[in-house]
Structure 1
Amino acid sequence: MRFDGWIAGLGTSSGTRVVLGHWQRSPYGPFSDVMLERPDGERLLLAPTRPVAEFIAATYTFDTVRVQPVRVTVAHRTWTVEAGPLRLRFVTLRRGPLGLCLRAVPGVLARQPLWSTLVDRPARLLLPGVRSRGSAGRGRREWYGARDLRPVRLVAASYDGTDLGAPAWVRPPVRFGFGSVPARPSLVRVTTTVALGPE
């Protein structure tokens, strides 16, 4: 199963870390989802439909799963997210050398699991905590093929009406799956491939 889109990872000074998935193409059609890890360690999934929630929850690990609308709007460089109790706004910044290198990777190559396997070790060295391949839930295997990377700046974030504080790096790393997002808040264009295992 293949998903093409964007993953944003952001931290806040309150300790809440947010991972947004914004998928233009997927087996479920276009959709967005949000994974949050709260300061007390609770891992929460916000997904727009039951089938999407069931697939993500079977691939990653959560303490709480909620099915509710996840709305994402993009206006120039500003992203606005409304997902249940979460309100989030961030802006993308100019891509650096790594982002420029990833932009040069042809899409047809980035979609190949072999490519993700080859770049896994360099990815770990350049971005501690990041992995481009690994084992997921229910015997599934997963590969990430990154095609762009932009730093982001958090503008505002609140949860249940409470301000989540100032922008911060994603520390400690999130614990939804076999790897985390980059520690520095960022937006990554990615092709994710999931090989289903025995159910």
Structure 2
Amino acid sequence: MEYKITVRDFLALGLGLAFISVGIDHFNSPCWYEPIVPSILPNPTFWVLASGFFEALFGLLLIIPRTRAWASVGMAWMLVVLYWANFNMWYNDIPLSGKTYDDIWHVRRLVIQIVLILGVTWIGQVTPFKGREKLHDSLDIFQGRITSSGFQTGDRIVVGAWNSSPFGTFTDIMWAKPDGTRVLIAPTQEIADYVTAMYSFDEVILEDIVSREEGRSLSVKCKSMDLQFSWKKGFAIPFKRSLLFIATVELFFARLIFSTRTYGLTRNNRQEWYAIDRVSNLSYASANIDGEDIGEMTPMNQPCKFGFSEAPKKPASCEVRTHIL
């Protein structure tokens, strides 16, 4: 059977050779890399040489089609782990060859790391769904939008507006009061039972909830609340990711950048994955609770403690696909 050379083959060759070169350089010039090894690790030279070995090894395996998929997974994990050294350099302002770098440089370096991780997983074809996840028929899948904001009174509100779910189209509201009381507002008892089995609440309110999304705005109304949100264009993640990727690589960067989690266990020990398709910062939020205005939007400075993950500290609206097993 004739083998057709693809774009992935060319990229695998180029990236593989680059990693082999960098790996060899770790052996030729270990002193250059040693300053950024986190101080908690003993014997920096060992870790520099070890990272160089794996960079060269995974680079070689990435070039070979038969080992490419495994190499891309290993390389993605390696890039996640190795960023610890880069972050250490950033956080502690460590100079290399006597030169320090500003925050913009380090942000660019982080972006490069993310692009590399996405690139190697794309090359190995482990990032996109291959048709459907193997567990697809066992998953409860919710597709819609999660919008969250804090307010001047200390109230924190998280709205899930679901276009598609096992319960059809519906909206629910999670509300953390200033005193820490956690309230769920749900449209039906069935939905309330489902949500409270997975998340922690001190009070449950059943009310009809009407939500309407127009452009980049969302209005949510029920007997207890009148909510209005608007958001900026934000940025999209233009491809699907496997649940494994979401639970590992994406989880790491979600915690690092947004202080959130994209994977975890629910209260009733079910696995849950958040596949974020677009992240947008809010430009406006208002809330009336029982007829009283609770002030302007603020960051989510205190945790809500509904479940294993918290909403982003900065008020945001995210297009999301939630998978529950």
State if a TM-score over 0.5 links the two structures: yes
Instruction: List runs of 5+ in structure 2 lacking aligned partners.
Output: 1-139
Q: How does 1:47-196 map to 2 (within 5 A)?
A: 47-95=186-234, 99-100=235-236, 102=237, 104-106=238-240, 109=241, 112-118=242-248, 119-128=250-259, 130-195=260-325
Q: Which protein is bigger by CA-based radius of gyration?
A: 2
Question: How far did residue 153 of structure 1 move?
Answer: 2.5
- Aligned CA-pair RMSD: 1.2
Instruction: Please give the alpha-carbon distance, in whole angstroms, between the structure 2 residues aligned to 1:46 and 1:154.
Output: 22
Q: Which stretch has the larger CA shift, 133-142 or 29-38?
A: 133-142
Q: Secondary structure at the match of 1:183?
A: coil
Question: How far did residue 46 of structure 1 move?
Answer: 0.5
**Deviation per residue, 1:130-163 (Å, 9 max, x gap):** 0001111112111111010111133421111111
Question: How far did residue 66 of structure 1 move?
Answer: 1.2
The higher relative CO (CA closer than 8 Å, separation ≥ 6) is in: 1
Amino-acid identity (%): 30
**Deviation per residue, 1:145-188 (Å, 9 max, x gap):** 10101111334211111111111011112210001111111110
Q: TM-score, normalised by structure 2?
A: 0.55
The structure carrying a bigger helix percent of its residues is 2
Match of 1:18 in 2: 157
Match of 1:3 in 2: 142
Q: TM-score, normalised by structure 1?
A: 0.89
Verify the 8 A CA contact 1:9 1:18 in the aligned structure 2: yes
Amino acid at match of 1:191: R
Verify the 8 A CA contact 2:144 2:160 in the aligned structure 1: yes
Question: How far did residue 113 of structure 1 move?
Answer: 2.0
**Deviation per residue, 1:45-99 (Å, 9 max, x gap):** 011111111000101000001111111112222211112311111111131xxx2
Question: How far did residue 116 of structure 1 move?
Answer: 1.4
Instruction: Please give the alpha-carbon distance, in whole angstroms, between the structure 2 residues aligned to 1:84 and 1:18.
Output: 15
Instruction: List runs of 5+ in structure 1 lacking aligned partners.
Output: none
Q: Secondary structure at the match of 2:201?
A: coil
Amino acid at match of 1:175: K
Instruction: Please give the alpha-carbon distance, in whole angstroms, between the structure 1 residues aligned to 2:243 and 2:222.
Output: 31
